[in-house]
Amino acid sequence: MTGAVAAVVAALDDAADVPLWSLSDDEVEGLLRSVQRARVDALALRLISEAARRRTGVRSGATSTRAWLRSELQVSPGEAKRDVELAAALAGPLELTRVALAAGDISRAHAQVVAKVMGFLPDHLGSEVCARAERQLLDWCRRFDSYGVAGLGRRLWEVVDPEGADAQEAKALERQERDANRVRHLAIGPDGFGRFRLQGQLDPESAAIVKTALDPLAKPLPSTADGADPRTPGQRNADALVELCRRQLAMGALPKQGGEKPQVVVTIDLAKLREGVGGGLLDTGDALSPETVRRLACEAKVIPALLGSDGQPLDLGRAARTFTPTQRRALALRDGPGCIFPGCDRPLAWCDAHHICHWIDGGPTDLDNGVLLCCYHHTLIHRGDWIVRMAADSRPEFIPPPWIDRDQKPLRNYLYRPE
């Protein structure tokens, strides 16, 4: 297989720089269809399934195959999750779908829809009924795009069991609600261009609650001499969510976190703040423009973290065993807003402050002896296979065990600060 894949890669390399202007319309269309059906997706999913079976990622120090895949291929968390789940489904009961994908008859998006719809079917159905349902979905895949198949999937019972369709639809709705509640999540992550992407899923009831809370704040502003509210519906919803959270923070009724009330912290040099030059850093590691920092400081909605000032005891020495909230913030500002283990992106709230030289061995509780690690990697370090140390530039680096890297080349987490 290795030789075959190498031949495919070489052929693609040869085709990459071939000029396309000389091709006819029919040739462009034919080649596009051929490339679409090149079956690379099917092979990639088989390899992901095999890596999961062998626990390759976990043996390399990752928390899961999904985390390992993201680190190895530099894909988004959502994409890694979808690929791992689809690979598991195709390696299991969806044999017909796996064959269709491998033959180039359907796309990866089609396969994902089939796996999702089949996942909603009750467990007690026999193999014959499930096979008939899968064949119907694949027939739709050959005639409609993935969105169309997803819509038709809600009518699957009318094809599989017309007489019991109503009763089965009620059971399917109940199961969908349970599953929607189980997989509910909300994530906020950067896109790398100064913007943040809000992603998540809610069950119908929760979505209705959120929508009801946002709607009053998302109404268009009254028309003025400048005209109607220029914001799109999506922009109004985004502003409404931020305003709802801002009001809740202002009330001061939220539970404490790390012994403190939730608060936005911006770090900036005091002289720069006074002069109105230079940007500031949030405790998430994200930068703010001077104008935004000055506005926040003027409105007194942030706490200034002036590193090195007499009011910030960042280095407490051996007198204290646990790192203070202030020291945790300083570690996050130095290394990044989360677990600093290579490839990990778990946020600050999930992390412990780890003593590089253990407390029991005389290690002090100060910044030069501390790093932030999530619970999983904190435990991994304490097992003794991996070694963490401070490099010459005062940044933490990790030495893998020899059974992972014979040369034990030092590694760093470049998710926060690429080099």
Q: Looking at residues 292-319, what average pLDDT do you find?
A: 45
Q: Which residue has the tokens 């985390």?
A: 67
Beta strands 185-190 and 264-267: pairing type? Answer: unpaired
Cα separation of 216 and 55, whole Å?
Answer: 49
Cα separation of 171 and 211, whole Å?
Answer: 26
Give the CATH class of 317-399: mainly alpha
Distances in Å between the Cα of 75 and the Cα atoms of 67, 68, 82, 115, 340 are: 10, 10, 11, 21, 19
Instruction: Tell me the angle at which helices 108-119 and 127-141 cross, rounded to the nearest 10 degrees.
Output: 150
What would the pLDDT profile of 327-351 be if each residue is shown by its tens digit?
Answer: 888 888 888 888 899 888 888 877 8
Report the percentage of the chain scoring pLDDT > 90: 11
Domain boundaries along the sequence of the chain:
26-182, 186-219+232-251, 264-304, 317-399
Of the candidate ranges 91-100, 103-112, 281-290, the one whose mean pLDDT is the lowest: 281-290
Has residue 318 got a pLDDT over 70? no
pLDDT of residue 112: 92
**Burial class, 416, CB count within 10 angstroms (exposed 0-12 / middle 13-18 / buried 19+):** middle
Cα separation of 357 and 368, whole Å?
Answer: 10
The 8-class DSSP code of residue 260 comes to B
pLDDT band at residue 219, thresholds of 50, 70 and 90? confident
Beta strands 185-190 and 196-201: pairing type? Answer: antiparallel
> pLDDT: is 84 or 231 the higher one?
84
pLDDT band at residue 39, thresholds of 50, 70 and 90? confident
Cα separation of 16 and 12, whole Å?
Answer: 6
What would the pLDDT profile of 347-406 be if each residue is shown by its tens digit?
Answer: 887 788 888 887 656 778 888 889 998 877 887 887 778 999 999 888 899 999 998 888
Query: 10 Å Cβ neighbour count for 401?
Result: 14
What would the pLDDT profile of 106-145 be if each residue is shown by its tens digit?
Answer: 888 999 999 988 887 776 777 888 888 899 999 999 999 9
> pLDDT: is 123 or 200 the higher one?
200
Has residue 244 got a pLDDT over 80? yes
pLDDT of residue 308: 46
Q: Which residue has the tokens 């985004």?
A: 238
In the chain, what is the greatest distance between 2 CA atoms, to the nearest angstrom?
Answer: 77
pLDDT of residue 93: 86
Structure tokens at 206: 């929760």
Has residue 225 got a pLDDT over 70? no
Has residue 87 got a pLDDT over 50? yes
pTM of the full predicted structure?
Answer: 0.57
> pLDDT: is 82 or 304 the higher one?
82
The DSSP annotation for 47-74 comes to HHHHHHHHTHHHHTT-SSHHHHHHHHHT
Q: Which of 155-169, 238-252, 278-292 has the highest mean pLDDT?
A: 238-252
The closest of 356, 354, 360, 338 to 417, measured between CA atoms, is 338
